[in-house]
Amino acid sequence: MFIDTKNAKSLLMKIIIFVMRKIKTALLIAIFFFSLSFSSCTTVLQVLEEASKTEQQNNNNNNRNTKKKDSKTRDNSRTKTKKKDSKTRDRHK
């Protein structure tokens, strides 16, 4: 029942080295998959960013178009009132 300490130490060192190698490979695999998922997340974020930019541009264009329509209707209403005023002036003369 006597255990040789030199063999036990070397066996323990072999087990520790084996476990450390397995941990190292597991960490490398985890880092690899994390980097893949992170890169896919960044591409998704880029797509969402571009979509939001185009949506903002569309909203700005829509706002400009509605502003132009409003100004046209205002101009038409002004000219209509001027025409009415001129008609009433002609009647009074």
Q: How many domains does the chain have?
A: 1
What is the C-alpha separation between 7 and 25, in angstroms, rounded?
A: 27
| 28 within domain boundaries | yes
| 84 within domain boundaries | no
Q: What is the pLDDT of residue 74?
A: 55
| 44 within domain boundaries | yes
Q: What is the model's pTM?
A: 0.38
Question: For residue 4, what are the domain limits?
Answer: 1-57
| 2 within domain boundaries | yes
What is the C-alpha separation between 67 and 59, in angstroms, rounded?
A: 12
Mean pLDDT, rounded, for 53-67: 76
Say if residue 83's pLDDT is above 60.
no
| 18 within domain boundaries | yes
Q: How far is CA 36 from CA 1, 33, 46, 47, in A?
A: 53, 5, 15, 17
- pLDDT tens digit string along 10-56? 888 899 999 999 999 999 999 888 888 777 777 777 877 888 888 88
